[in-house]
Chains A and B, each alone.
Chain A
Amino acid sequence: MVISKKPLHFIVATLVAFLPLVTVANPTNDSTTVEHTSVTTEAKTEHHEGESKDLKTEIKEFINHHLQDSYDFHLFSYEDDAKVEHHIGFPLPVILWDNGLQLFSSSKFHHGESAAESNGNYYRLFHGKIYKVANADEQVAVDAKHHVTNEKPFDFSITKNVFMMLVVSIIMFLLFTSLAKSYAKNGGIAKGAGRFFEPIILYIRDDIAIPNIGKNYKKYMSYLLTIFFFVWFLNIFGLTPLGVNVTGNIAITAGLALITYLITTFTANKNYWGHIFWMPGVPAPMKLVLAPIELLGTIIKPFSLMIRLYANIVAGHVVLMSIIGLMFIFKNWLGSSLSFVLAFALSLLEILVAALQAYIFTMLSALYFGAANEEHYNDDAHH
């Protein structure tokens, strides 16, 4: 037993032994980046206060840019010695409906620097949105209230968020179908990744679905499992350096909450509607007061689902990126290592939040489904 454990001990010991090297390697890396940034900013402006303000707005713009959806998958960009900016990433297809289908690559925008041409129409990127312009040289016009006056075509583009959702869907489809097949092959025993995912699936069934929904739980299992793994995987992808922010987009959480709302509404039994429109067991005037409140409650419930997931992920990303951004403001070894440690600890917390938010979304969805499916045990229950 002792001998068989030795390789693991050895690996752990080596990893621990190499940890100091990693921490030493990082500050030197950071300091070179900081020096580089300070050189470029000093070249731009000599004024000391102006320099720090520029850096702050730059960090703010970077965070805002990260939170937005974009038309190309942009990994990182850098300036070479000749001060030429290089963007690393790949373009995604732009699909517009504007007097017919307009299909072209987002590389035509040249990162918003020039207008894209498709079938004689010209389009220009402005604050992450596509607007129609009359010719290649025209800019997007804004009125006095900062509203864009240009026409906006119907946009069905495969943006970064849509692309990531497709990727996660494909991963989930391949992963779980292969797991299901492996059960048939191994005589009902999980193997490989199934050993990791089986307890999670059983937890969702035994601790989320059955206690909250009751005997009708099977109807909802597919949705609960899908929503849990979809949200969880997307949250985890948001923490990778790929820089995706899918669950931190209110349109996507709104879509997920809308599905929960529709399922709740369309699978509800007569007791659910009875409790909304004519609450049993309370005096008649009170029933009239309660009906609009309960009806509003059905909409507020998915609304809070939407806000909760969106706000948690956005808050996590903003705080994490701000702490990383502090590195470029402090510009010394103490601040850099402090922000490195803080960012590391916060990343660990964010991994927890990623799973927790997926769990909460699933749990509350199950709770709403359970409320829609409650059986009327006996008439005296409310008296």
Chain B
Amino acid sequence: MQIPTIVGAGLIVIGAGLGIGKIGGSAMDAIARQPEASGKIQTAMLIAAALIEGIGFAALFAS
């Protein structure tokens, strides 16, 4: 009975991890292109990462 929820939570965490990794990687690219905009990019990156992280944690606590 427990297995499907755990697998689902695992899948969501994989997705969230991929998403945050993509955000971090893209932010690195963006900062490398425009170092002078690094402050704004970091802020946007943190917000996006936090939003995805919330879903990941919600999945962890739902399982």
Contact = CB atoms under 8 A, between A and B. Distances in A.
B46 A307 contact: no
Interface string A172-216: 000000000000000000000000000000000001000000000
A307 B57 contact: yes
Contacts of A356: 46
Interface string A355-366: 010011001100
B37 interface: no
A311 B52 CA distance: 13
Given A360-B50, A364-B50, A307 B58 contact: yes
A304 B47 contact: no
A363 B47 contact: yes
Nearest to B51: A304
Contact of B43 (A311, A312, A315, A363): A363
B53 A308 contact: yes
A308 B46 contact: no
Chain B: interface size category = 10 to 19
A307 B54 CA distance: 7
Interface string A303-337: 01001100110010000000000000000000000
Contacts of B53: 308, 312
Interface residues of A, number: 13
B47 A312 contact: no
Contacts of B47: 360, 363-364, 367
Interface string B33-63: 0000001000100110011011101101100
Given A311-B60, A311-B61, A304 B46 contact: no
B43 A207 contact: yes
A206 B53 CA distance: 26
Nearest to A308: B54
Contact of A304 (B39, B43, B58, B60): B58
Contacts of B61: 307, 311
Contacts of A364: 47, 50
Contacts of A308: 50, 53-54, 57
Contacts of B50: 308, 360, 363-364
B57 A311 contact: yes
Contact of A360 (B46, B55, B57, B60): B46
Instruction: Count chain B CB atoms within 10 A of each CB in A311, A312, A364 and give the residue with the most.
Output: A311
B39 to A, nearest CB: 8
B42 to A, nearest CB: 10
A312 B56 CA distance: 11
Contacts of B57: 307-308, 311-312, 315
Contacts of A367: 47
A235 to B, nearest CB: 15
A308 B60 CA distance: 11
A270 to B, nearest CB: 26
A359 B42 CA distance: 12
Interface of B: 39, 43, 46-47, 50-51, 53-55, 57-58, 60-61
Interface of A: 207, 304, 307-308, 311-312, 315, 356, 359-360, 363-364, 367
7 contacts: A207-B43, A304-B55, A304-B58, A307-B58, A308-B57, A311-B58, A315-B57
Q: What 6 A-B pairs come out closest when comparing CB atoms?
A: A311-B57, A304-B54, A308-B54, A360-B50, A307-B58, A307-B57
Given A311-B58, A360-B46, 13 more contacts: A304-B54, A307-B57, A307-B58, A307-B61, A308-B50, A308-B53, A311-B57, A311-B60, A311-B61, A312-B53, A312-B57, A360-B47, A360-B50
